Amino acid sequence: MTPTFGTRLAAARGALGPLCVGIDPHPSLLQQWGLADDVDGLRRFALTVVEAVAGVVPAIKPQSAFFERHGSRGVAVLEEVVAAGRSAGTLVVVDAKRGDIGSTMGAYADAYLRDGAPLAGDALTVSPYLGFGSLRPAVELAAATGRGLFVLALTSNPEGASVQHARAADGRSVAAQVAQEAARLNAAELAAGGGSLGSVGLVVGATIGDAAARLGLDLAAVQGPLLAPGVGAQGAGPAELAAVFGDARSAVLASSSRGVLSAGPTVAALRGAAERARDEAAAALA
């Protein structure tokens, strides 16, 4: 049997530290690297990052939108990045934030989680805000293929609070309900012998302050990985990571994009930046 995503992530995190490098080929970064904002520039940027961080960090997180903006040829580059990361032994989290209902969600699951699908990495980010149950096709296919999900729970954008912080009639916040559903799935996986870390993770912004505690999220009880965007250039350092995640720090996969990418364009400079960011995150989460 294929080891679960949670098992593979726990092993990779233990060996290489708690940092995921986001691959966000923003036009301004392409320009900073001296690259054209076209498919050739996109390919050179993205594959250079993969080369630089493979073996340095446990995971990469290509942001699908920055590839999609180049049309079908950009999506083809995303396929190359997924293949290159997996070939290098680096876990690939495809950051596509998909969420829909019924057969449409099933089609998204097929595109990103099916064995042999060109866009299938090791995990996918998904949105539960059509109801957590709408994610069932992705949950089921991820479990069947040994892949993982990162479900949006508490994001750092100010607009997110109007939905995520809202409370149901029973007093539970929407974000807490999302966390409890993830915890339920992970408990079942672990009870069936799935290792020490479940495969249904949450996305929790590293810059949210005390929001998790205020909204009733028991992040340690989720028993799954916690993807934490916002590390580095977006403002979260050691103090923020420790304050937001508390007893759940051992499950955090800190995500840094611009903080590492701005060190390019050379492989050596990117690798050095990734190593520094990794070590800083490890110290903060120890």
Q: What mean pLDDT do residues 135-156 have?
A: 97
pTM to 2 decimal places: 0.96
In angstroms, what is the C-alpha Rg of the chain? 18
Beta bridge partners of 27: none
Position 278 confidence tier, pLDDT thresholds 50, 70, 90: very high
Beta bridge partners of 98: 126
* Two tokens, residue 50: 């993969």
Cα–Cα distance measured from residue 187 to residue 41, given in angstroms and rounded to the nearest whole number: 44
Task: Answer yes or no: are the C-beta atoms of 211 and 245 closer than 8 Å.
Answer: no
Cα–Cα distance measured from residue 27 to residue 42, given in angstroms and rounded to the nearest whole number: 9
Predicted local confidence at residue 285, as pLDDT: 85
Share of the chain above pLDDT 90, in %: 85
DSSP 50-78: HHHHBTTBSEEEEBHHHHHTTHHHHHHHH
Q: Which residue has the tokens 């293949």?
A: 83
- SS3 of 174, please? helix
Please report, for the chain, the start and end positions of each structural domain, with discontinuous segments joined by +. Answer: 5-285
* CA–CA–CA angle 266, 19, 17 (5° rounding): 110
**DSSP character for 167?**
B
Predicted local confidence at residue 239, as pLDDT: 74
Active site residues per annotation:
97
The pLDDT tens digits for 224-245 are: 999 998 876 556 677 777 778 8
Name residue 94's amino acid.
V
H helices present in 24-130, as ranges: 27-32, 39-53, 64-68, 71-87, 102-113
The pLDDT tens digits for 183-224 are: 999 999 999 986 889 999 999 998 888 899 999 999 999 999
Q: Candidates 3.40.50.620, 3.40.50.720, 3.40.50.170, 3.20.20.70; correct CATH number of 5-285?
A: 3.20.20.70
Helix axis angle, 39-53 to 71-87, nearest 10°? 10
* Two tokens, residue 22: 């986001």
Cα–Cα distance measured from residue 21 to residue 251, given in angstroms and rounded to the nearest whole number: 16
Q: What mean pLDDT do residues 148-174 have?
A: 95
Predicted local confidence at residue 244, as pLDDT: 86
Position 286 confidence tier, pLDDT thresholds 50, 70, 90: confident
Cα–Cα distance measured from residue 128 to residue 218, given in angstroms and rounded to the nearest whole number: 18
